[in-house]
Chains A and B, each alone.
Chain A
Amino acid sequence: MEIPDNLRYTKEHEWVEFDPKNKTAKIGITEYAQDKLGDIVHIDLPEEGDTFNAHDTFGSVESVKAVSDIYTPISGKVLEVNETVLDGPEMINEDPYSEGWMVMLSVKDTSELESLMDASAYEAYLEELE
């Protein structure tokens, strides 16, 4: 299972790609999450300009079987929403770490990133789950 080294992870299987230069972060769900969900057929995402605190629900992702909440791993304001996955949510199944990103935030407090898992910690966490 793919777990890119350059990302940070949550126990709810979201990933964060932090851009230190612009203090922005892209957020999506992991390969593991999309595999467990199965065919993703609908997602709900926030509007540009919405602000969230870490651990807030910012949307939902629905497979044929079930609906799951998605949480913001870190606090911030929504700069951009990926229109491609709104129109074609199957992109999240196909390419969860790249084309399947969901929202980009301006990061409010970069220290929050420290509380997230790195790739090896997330890998160990997945092994525990299995």
Chain B
Amino acid sequence: MNLKQTPLYEEHQKLGATFVNFAGWEMPIQYKGIVEEHLKVRSAVGLFDVSHMGEIEIHGAGASDFCQKVTCNDITKLKPGKVQYTAILNEDGGMIDDCTVYMFHPEHFMFVINASRKENVLNWLYMQQVDQVEIRDRSQDYALIAVQGPESSNIVSDLIARDVQTITYYEFQVCNVFDQAIIVSRTGYTGEDGFEIYIPISIVKNVWKALLELGQSKGIAPIGLGARDTLRLEMGYRLYGNDMSEKTTPLEAGLSWIVDLHKGSFTGHHALKDQLEKSDFAKVRGLVFLEKGIPRPGYEVFENDEKIGFVTSGTYSPTLKKGIALAHIKTKSKIGSIVQVDVRGKKYNAKITKTPFVEGSVKK
């Protein structure tokens, strides 16, 4: 299989990255080491190439209604310049993808979706397309760099020669850099204060190098997908393919806060309403290990010797120095209850915990 490469591939090579196949893309998994990179983002600032993500624009007089129909969160809460976390569902309420939606104006939105889900999302949107709605796949036009960490705002301010404090959490602005328009969004997947910057391919190398240079005095470092995963998991952020699938509803994924059943009809609405009325379903919840050991996806979870589900994401938390997991479990037990995780034949005690597992610097 031919792996796709981002326009920054050579920069990663020069920085000593090791690569991994991620959703058909040859992406840096680490440069210096996952733990070091993880702690760099928590304590200072890191730079991520996440250009594999997909961008799909929705245009036209029907754009607003269309976005409202194909997502489960309430799009009317968005204003121009604001971002919303939401999900695209099938008729059964299963998740086609989780995504963010950017509102430029009432006739122009942008969905940012997972690389692995691009074809499925596009096909599903085309199937629901109506008059006065235009769907444009812009994934080839945009590279995406994330600047994440408590020091990120100074660096991004320097890049765009403007104070980024005017952009608050889950807001974005279009700025000019190297004579091109870039989208600077105060969002991220790490729990730290940070930015995701959508950049035309032609200038992305310049922006990457400029950010590394501007961040030098703050100790900026490039960060691979390995640390991206441990950072997101410490925050309890769900990952599509692990914690979510076409067979999982957002309610089961523990994302009821992005479901608005009162906003009117949307794809998957009936299924979610039925599920909520029955209220008897397995949910993704946080687990912290009480013993030395590391949970991994697929490990089974037990309560009073009864199997109640399985781990969907698990890792070693570099901040807590403990095993942490998201697990899809069916239990009425409250936060603080003890369950057991079968780690390769040995049962380890773990505590059901609220997420996030750690506090980030993100300014909500």
Contact = CB atoms under 8 A, between A and B. Distances in A.
Given A38-B226, A39-B33, A42-B294, A62 B316 contact: yes
Given A41-B35, A42-B316, A62-B316, A67 B30 contact: no
B230 interface: yes
Interface residues of B, number: 17
B34 interface: yes
A60 interface: yes
A124 interface: no
Main secondary structure of the interface of B (DSSP, over half): mixed
B106 interface: no
A104 B344 CA distance: 24
B315 A64 contact: yes
Main secondary structure of the interface of A (DSSP, over half): strand
B294 A41 contact: yes
Contacts of A66: 296
A21 interface: no
Contact of B344 (A38, A63, A67): A67
Interface centre among B29, B292, B315, B318 (most CB of A within 10 A): B292
Contacts, number: 34
Given A60-B344, A64-B316, A65-B226, A39 B294 contact: no
Contacts of B230: 64
A104 B315 CA distance: 29
B292 to A, nearest CB: 6
Contacts of B323: 42
Nearest to B296: A67
Contacts of A39: 33-36
B34 A65 contact: yes
B80 to A, nearest CB: 40
B169 to A, nearest CB: 28
Interface in B9-40: 29-30, 33-36
Interface string A15-45: 0000000000000000000000011011000
20 contacts: A38-B30, A38-B33, A38-B34, A39-B33, A39-B35, A39-B36, A41-B35, A42-B293, A42-B294, A42-B316, A63-B34, A64-B34, A64-B35, A64-B230, A64-B316, A64-B318, A65-B29, A67-B294, A67-B296, A67-B344
